[in-house]
Amino acid sequence: MATLEIRDLHVTVEADNATKEILKGVDLTVKQGETHAIMGPNGSGKSTLAYSLAGHPKYTITGGTVLLDGEDVLEMSVDERARAGLFLAMQYPVEVPGVSVSNFLRTSATAIRGEAPKLRTWVKEVKEAMERLNMDTSFAERNVNEGFSGGEKKRHEILQLELLRPKVAILDETDSGLDVDALRIVSEGVNRVRETGEVGTLLITHYTRILRYIKPDFVHVFSAGRIVESGGAELADKLENEGYEAYTKGGVSA
Ligand SMILES: Nc1ncnc2c1ncn2[C@@H]1O[C@H](COP(=O)(O)OP(=O)(O)O)[C@@H](O)[C@H]1O
Ligand SMILES: [Mg+2]
């Protein structure tokens, strides 16, 4: 079983000619097959955690370690992270002009599997995955994220997740901007992947509503750059009723 181990992670960004520490010692272990939710107020550093794990150049790791199966993730290039089995869906995914969804998926699958998927089975695989997500087949010919609506971006993420079958998937605000139907379809996709037992999922969210569809094994409250409380699914219910106020008093959240 693969394990992602984040230990005492400290991260800074440069903003307004000053160095600002955003992550202040994050500790988290996600095992293949487990679903973790990270919940916290806006500005607490949740996306910074996702970007740091993705290797985004704006974020400087100033302390701590991240290991996947004992391998140092922080030493890996972005491509190596994907090949090692990390999947990162960003809150604001980038456009890739000139690259169709279909080509993008096949290139990614080739990189991750170490060989190009057989064309016949691959076409079928993609078609079936798109049908499960209620996506029109013409979507495959569009350029990645170009002019995608919020819902299309999120479906595209889940399509990648289903086809690429990573060891650990980090989904940042997958629920934001979705109407109820899209939220249900996206959640069902996450649940299908989860049921394989082969993917560890880190679901980062501000709102509790996605947790009505995806029942996490663990819930972590994130505040001012670190995890301040961990529990089971019942912790999400508490947050739904009480909000984050108890965790942000005297803290630095927006
Ligand atoms: N690239 C960046 N440049 C400057 N400040 C940033 C950058 N990324 C994040 N921050 C700051 O770090 C803090 C945490 O942001 P973020 O990680 O997006 O929080 P969350 O996802 O929990 O809402 C905020 O104060 C934000 O302004
Ligand atoms: Mg965020």
- When mean pLDDT is compared across 27-31, 87-91, 138-142, 192-196, the lowest value belongs to 87-91
pLDDT per residue as tens digits for the range 203-253: 999 888 899 999 999 999 999 999 999 999 999 999 989 999 989 875 544
Q: Over 90: is that where the pLDDT of 95 sits?
A: no
In the chain, where the domains are located: 3-248
* Ligand 1 within 6 A of CB of 14: no
Mean pLDDT in residue range 145-156? 88
Report the CATH fold assignment for 3-248: Rossmann fold (3.40.50)
Contacts 24+ apart (CB under 8 A), 65-71: 65/5, 65/6, 65/7, 65/8, 65/9, 66/4, 66/5, 66/6, 66/7, 66/9, 67/3, 67/4, 67/5, 67/7, 68/2, 68/3, 68/4, 68/5, 68/167, 68/168, 69/2, 69/3, 69/167
Portion of the chain with pLDDT greater than 70, in percent: 97
Measured from the Cα of 225, ligand 1's closest atom is 14
* Ligand 1 within 6 A of CB of 45: yes
**pLDDT at 253 (0 to 100):** 46
Quick one: which ligand is closest to 45's CA? 1
Q: Which pLDDT band, with edges at 50, 70 and 90, does 98 fall under?
A: confident
Distance 8 CA to ligand 2 centre (A): 20
Element (H, E) at 36: strand 35-39
Residues within 5 A (CB) of ion ligand 2: 46-47, 91
Mean pLDDT in residue range 129-143? 92
Q: Which of 21, 171, 157, 186 is nearest to 94 (CA)?
A: 157
* Ligand 1 within 6 A of CB of 55: no
Q: How many CB atoms lie within 10 A of CB 174?
A: 27
* Ligand 1 within 6 A of CB of 13: yes
Q: Over 70: is that where the pLDDT of 114 sits?
A: yes
Question: How far is it, in rounded angstroms, from Cα 27 to Cα 70?
Answer: 15
Distance 47 CA to ligand 1 centre (A): 7
* Ligand 1 within 6 A of CB of 78: no
Which residue has the least CA distance to atom 6 on ligand 1?
A: 13
Mean pLDDT in residue range 126-148? 92
CA atoms within 13 A on the CB side of 66: 23
**pLDDT at 112 (0 to 100):** 84
* Ligand 1 within 6 A of CB of 226: no
pLDDT per residue as tens digits for the range 53-77: 999 999 999 999 999 999 999 999 9
**DSSP character at residue 135:** -
Residue that wins the pLDDT comparison between 202 and 175? 202
User: To the nearest whole number, what is the mean pLDDT of the chain?
Assistant: 91
Q: How much is the pTM? A: 0.92
**pLDDT at 91 (0 to 100):** 65
